[in-house]
Amino acid sequence: MKAYRLLTEEDTSAFCHKVTEALSKGWVLYGDPAYAFDAATGKMRCAQAVVKDVAGDYAPDVKLGAL
């Protein structure tokens, strides 16, 4: 199956670390990153979609971060 995750974080180095960790575990960037203002917190947020081909079938209880 092809697994999909949308990684999000405030615009800090924590976002880069989150994406780097996913890449090191075999996830692949999917599309362009997004950058938007979060009015609730007054901070900028980043988002990046990643995908990964894994064995097995999809189930709603799959822990995507553990793949």
Q: What is the pLDDT of residue 40?
A: 95
**Residue 19 domain flag:** yes
Q: Is 12 helix (H, G, I), strand (E, B) or coil?
A: coil
**Residue 23 domain flag:** yes
Q: What is the tens place of the pLDDT at every residue in 13-55? A: 999 999 999 999 999 999 999 999 999 999 999 999 999 999 9
**Residue 36 domain flag:** yes
Q: Which domain holds residue 53?
A: 2-57
Structurally, the chain folds into a number of domains equal to 1
Residues 6 or more apart whose Cβ sits within 8 Å of residue 49:
4, 5, 6, 7, 29, 30, 31
Rounded CA separation 32/18 (Å): 16
**Residue 67 domain flag:** no
Rounded CA separation 64/20 (Å): 16
**Residue 63 domain flag:** no
Report the length, in residues, of the chain.
Answer: 67
**Residue 51 domain flag:** yes
